């Protein structure tokens, strides 16, 4: 007898649409997309199956279930104070897992570490326009917007841009297309309308473009400005963080990618996997201080898509060491969160049983536990949205989905 416990999105993250990939080349869309990472490391502390839904944690009481109850209890099949790090990118076995007790179970309960590590890369179209980089600011301009012309080439959609003038000089050149621009033939040059003094000049940047980590106090409005422009560019982009580089899920300027750390490099040659770094996201809140605003509000009943309305997938909680919800916090801080709890409705498929949503464990159940994961969208390829759609600025964790096999 074999059973499959299907779970999805063991993070608050929304399900990103799959990236459009053909022959190994990924063409970004107008919004961020999901792709499969090379490695996705998650530390697991506890796995249990439950006969009924465990009680949710509050700001004063931890989540609870009775292991001895014959009607509402849970059976723990793995637990470790130190935790066990699993690579969700490959079929993995959770060492030390034991057989669930005899019973009928309807929920899967999991505790994982709030930090998830991603390692991966992406190959972009060679003629994807990432943006336009200033090579000379020029002088003698008037008016906030200055015309920009792409000369020659064949691109879809037709590339458009605006130069932004401030104090008589060009400060930025901003692509104004709402979807990424890919060229079959590259434009020969880009021209900025002349001012009364020195001519401003610019160059087109192709492929991906990565920025450096930026401080919270950084006032740069976008990466097209001055010395911060495109530190690395190229057709390949890959993760480059290390153990000290943490991207907090709740962070300042969440909606502005240019004020966030990237921990990504781009170039025309892809390094070996071993030479890539891990990008680490730490879940410390649901992107808003509102999650700490009330007694019952703090990070409680966060669903798989970040809303309180979705009930078909899972409940999601970020808890402190004592298992309770935090009552206060701030961006770019751990906020005392040490574990993430997921309570997931079981999806069941088994030879000899057609009843969905139930796991049967009998005395003849073999008791072997194997973990298998489908993380085809476990990494999020983030771009600049409709304002800067061709700009690829980060590879980070996305939704977590997979199957827990009991065989």
pTM of the model: 0.78
Range 31-58 average pLDDT = 85
% of the chain at pLDDT higher than 90: 21
Query: Mean pLDDT for the chain?
Result: 74
Tens digit of each residue's pLDDT (9 = 90 or more) over 120-131: 999 999 999 888
Range 122-148 average pLDDT = 90
With beta carbons less than 8 A apart as the criterion, state whether 300 and 333 touch.
no
Taking the C-alpha atoms of residue 94 and residue 81, their distance in angstroms, rounded to an integer, is 14
3-state helix, strand, coil in the chain (%, to 5): 5, 45, 55
- Asked which of 131-140, 212-221, 325-334 is least confident by mean pLDDT, the reply is 212-221
The confidence score (pLDDT) of residue 275 equals 92
* Non-local CB neighbours of 212 within 8 Å, separated by 6+ positions: 228, 231, 261, 262
With beta carbons less than 8 A apart as the criterion, state whether 380 and 398 touch.
yes
% of the chain at pLDDT higher than 70: 67
* Non-local CB neighbours of 124 within 8 Å, separated by 6+ positions: 25, 26, 27, 28, 207, 208, 235, 236, 237, 392
- On the question of pLDDT at 353 being above 80, the answer is no
The confidence score (pLDDT) of residue 254 equals 57
Taking the C-alpha atoms of residue 1 and residue 102, their distance in angstroms, rounded to an integer, is 14
Higher confidence at residue 27 or residue 223?
27
pLDDT band for 9, please (50, 70, 90 cuts).
Answer: very low
- Asked which of 7-21, 46-60, 181-195, 324-338 is least confident by mean pLDDT, the reply is 7-21
Range 110-124 average pLDDT = 91
The confidence score (pLDDT) of residue 81 equals 94
- On the question of pLDDT at 44 being above 70, the answer is yes
pLDDT band for 187, please (50, 70, 90 cuts).
Answer: very high
Domain residue extents for the chain? 3-122+282-406, 127-206
With beta carbons less than 8 A apart as the criterion, state whether 173 and 209 touch.
no
Higher confidence at residue 326 or residue 165?
165
The confidence score (pLDDT) of residue 276 equals 92
């Amino acid at each position: 007898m074999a059973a499959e416990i299907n779970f999805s999105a063991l993070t608050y993250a929304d399900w990103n649409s799959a990236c459009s990939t053909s022959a190994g080349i990924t063409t970004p869309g107008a919004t961020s997309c999901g792709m499969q990472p090379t490695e996705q490391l998650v530390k697991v502390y506890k796995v249990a199956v439950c006969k009924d839904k465990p009680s949710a944690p509050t700001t004063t009481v931890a989540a609870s279930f009775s292991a001895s109850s014959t009607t509402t209890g849970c059976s723990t099949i793995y637990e470790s104070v130190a935790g066990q790090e699993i690579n969700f990118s490959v079929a993995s076995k959770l060492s030390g897992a034991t057989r669930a007790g005899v019973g009928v179970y309807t929920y899967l309960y999991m505790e994982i570490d709030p930090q998830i590590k991603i390692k991966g890369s992406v190959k972009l179209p060679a003629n994807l326009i990432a943006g336009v980089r200033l090579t000379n600011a020029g002088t003698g301009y008037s008016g906030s917007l200055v015309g920009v012309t792409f000369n020659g080439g064949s691109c879809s959609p037709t590339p458009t841009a605006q130069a932004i003038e401030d104090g008589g000089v060009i400060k930025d050149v901003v692509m104004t297309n709402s979807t990424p621009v890919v060229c079959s033939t590259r434009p020969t040059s880009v021209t900025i309308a002349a001012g009364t003094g020195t001519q401003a000049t610019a160059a087109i940047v192709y492929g991906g473009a990565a920025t450096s980590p930026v401080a919270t106090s950084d006032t740069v409005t976008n990466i097209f400005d001055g010395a911060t422009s495109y530190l690395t560019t190229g057709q390949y982009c890959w993760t480059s963080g290390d153990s000290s580089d943490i991207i907090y899920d709740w962070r300042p300027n969440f909606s502005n990618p240019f004020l966030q750390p990237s921990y990504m490099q781009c170039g025309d040659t892809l390094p070996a996997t071993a030479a890539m770094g891990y990008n680490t996201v730490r879940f410390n809140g649901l992107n808003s201080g509102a999650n700490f605003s009330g007694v019952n509000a703090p990070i409680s009943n966060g669903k798989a898509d970040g809303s309180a309305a979705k009930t078909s997938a899972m409940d999601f909680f970020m808890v402190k060491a004592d298992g309770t919800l935090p009552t206060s916090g701030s961006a770019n801080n751990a906020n005392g969160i040490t574990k993430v709890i997921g309570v997931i409705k079981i999806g069941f498929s088994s030879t000899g049983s057609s009843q969905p949503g139930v796991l049967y464990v009998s005395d003849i159940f073999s008791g072997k536990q194997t973990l298998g994961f489908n993380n085809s969208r476990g990494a999020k390829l983030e771009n600049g949205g409709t304002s800067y759609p061709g700009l690829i600025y980060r590879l980070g964790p996305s939704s977590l989905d997979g199957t827990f096999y009991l065989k």
